């Protein structure tokens, strides 16, 4: 198994990317194809005392993608960036899966145009893993702002399959994000999607879920259009930061609160762990014809190491071939 890693994209590239990729290589027993500046990659490995044995380095000749670049830059003016080269190598079969912490829009655009979609998937979705003590997949988390009921049904299928085959959850519970629990609630998109999921075989659909219930962690897959999903993801990230800030403020207030922290440290550390997105790695691009894992832009080495494991399990799962073999409706088969 060989994982391709875009080493030059992300807020903490290349140090955290190379560091995490090499730690993931050891843990997951995979080979790596590292794309980026060879000298920088070698210096990062040396700085962390990690070996490059079992790694191949491919240098890119062009300027790298930044978080501010246009999404089309990966296939236009920056088609020799580390991200673009990594996508081309994956397409050519030089690796089994890819990891990048770069510009989400550029990576999705590049993956869609270079790797293409799985046959039968009209629109790919971004599947964000939410940290609620146990992993919860939300899709779409921002790839498709405008969706049809058929798109959401396909997200439900792919999300359920990912949580089963990659995350090892048996019969994942699926819920539709809505503004009420009743099946009559929502816009036409939610109402029509509800009816389609309600009658769909092979999906453990449990109904609507309201925003206040998301943090209960009772569902394995949450379905939404990309506009709604992205707001939910950012809200969850902000809530986690706010909770940690409140804990710090409370326990630093005075001497007694500091003593209380020492007594409660074990429980506080557990809470921090359970709300830390880095322990679940990155977001899979669901519906792309090759496995691509999008790490958070600010990923540290711990998160990148987990992304390498995610990429390995995604490639081994066989779910991409299975999705391509599904007999989908004519609406889902119609390519845009």
Domains of the chain and CATH, by start? 1-121+287-336 (3.40.718.10), 129-278 (3.40.718.10)
Reported as a single tens digit per residue, the pLDDT across 257-310 is 888 888 888 877 776 666 666 666 789 999 999 999 999 888 999 999 999 999
Reported as a single tens digit per residue, the pLDDT across 104-156 is 999 999 999 999 999 889 899 999 988 776 789 999 998 898 999 999 999 99
**b/e map 4-30, b = 16+ CB within 10 Å:** bbbbbbbebbbbbbbbbbbbbbeebeb
User: What is the rounded average pLDDT of the residues 186-205?
Assistant: 94
How many other β-carbons are positioned within 10 Å of the β-carbon of residue 259? Answer: 11
Please say whether the beta carbons of 7 and 14 come within 8 A. yes
Looking up tokens 């191949």 gives: 56
How far is 243 from 21, CA to CA, in rounded Å? 30
Give the range among 45-59, 229-243, 300-314 with minimum mean pLDDT. 229-243
Predicted local distance difference test score (pLDDT) of residue 137: 94
Predicted local distance difference test score (pLDDT) of residue 329: 43
User: What is the rounded average pLDDT of the residues 164-188?
Assistant: 93
Residues 6+ positions from 305 with CB-CB distance below 8 Å: 20, 21, 23, 24, 27
CA dihedral 67, 72, 74, 78 (to 10 degrees): -90
Query: Which of 9-13, 212-216, 326-330 has the highest average model confidence (pLDDT)?
Result: 9-13
Predicted local distance difference test score (pLDDT) of residue 275: 63
pTM: 0.86
Please say whether the beta carbons of 72 and 113 come within 8 A. no
Beta strands, E only, the chain: 2-6, 31-35, 55-58, 97-100, 125-126, 128-131, 135-139, 173-177, 204-209, 221-223, 283-286, 292-294
Beta strands, E only, 86-172: 97-100, 125-126, 128-131, 135-139
Reported as a single tens digit per residue, the pLDDT across 88-108 is 999 999 999 999 999 999 999
Backbone φ and ψ for 229, nearest 5 degrees, come out as -60, -40
DSSP 115: I
DSSP 252: T
Reported as a single tens digit per residue, the pLDDT across 54-79 is 999 999 999 999 999 999 999 999 99
305 strand-pairing partners: none
Predicted local distance difference test score (pLDDT) of residue 58: 97
Q: What angle do CA 302, 304, 308 make, to 5 degrees?
A: 120
How far is 207 from 198, CA to CA, in rounded Å? 8
- Residue scoring higher pLDDT (293 or 212): 293
Beta-carbon-side half-sphere exposure of residue 12 (alpha carbons within 13 Å): 18
How many other β-carbons are positioned within 10 Å of the β-carbon of residue 333? Answer: 14
């Amino acid at each position: 198994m060989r994982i391709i890693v875009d080493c030059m994209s992300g807020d903490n590239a290349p140090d955290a990317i190379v560091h995490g990729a090499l730690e993931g290589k050891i843990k997951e027993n995979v080979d790596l194809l590292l794309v980026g500046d060879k000298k920088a990659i070698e210096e990062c490995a040396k700085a962390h005392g990690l070996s490059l044995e079992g790694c191949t380095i491919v240098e890119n000749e062009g300027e790298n993608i930044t978080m501010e670049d246009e999404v089309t830059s990966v296939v236009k003016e920056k088609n020799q960036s580390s991200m673009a080269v990594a996508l081309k190598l994956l397409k050519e079969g030089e690796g089994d899966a890819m990891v990048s912490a770069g510009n989400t829009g550029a990576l999705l655009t590049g993956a869609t145009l270079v790797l293409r979609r799985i046959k039968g998937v009209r629109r790919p979705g971004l599947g964000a893993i939410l940290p609620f003590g146990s992993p919860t997949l939300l899709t779409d988390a921002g790839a498709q702002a405008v969706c049809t009921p058929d798109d959401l049904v396909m997200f439900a299928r792919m999300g359920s399959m990912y949580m089963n085959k990659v995350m090892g959850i048996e019969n994942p519970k699926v819920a539709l994000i809505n503004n009420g629990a009743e099946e009559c609630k929502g816009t036409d998109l939610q109402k029509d999607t509800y009816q389609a999921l309600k009658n769909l075989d092979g999906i453990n659909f449990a109904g609507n879920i309201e925003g206040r219930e998301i943090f209960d962690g009772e569902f394995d897959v949450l379905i939404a259009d990309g506009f709604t999903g992205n707001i939910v993801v950012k809200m969850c990230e902000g809530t986690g930061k706010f909770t940690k800030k409140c804990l710090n403020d409370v326990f630093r207030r005075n001497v007694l609160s500091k003593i209380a922290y020492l007594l409660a440290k074990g429980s506080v550390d557990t809470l921090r762990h359970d709300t830390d997105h880095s322990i679940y790695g990155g977001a899979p691009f669901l519906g792309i014809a090759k496995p691509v894992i999008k790490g958070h832009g600010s990923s540290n080495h711990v998160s990148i190491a987990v992304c390498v494991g995610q990429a390995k399990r995604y490639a081994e799962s066989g779910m991409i071939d299975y999705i391509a073999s599904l007999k989908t409706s004519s609406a889902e088969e119609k390519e845009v």
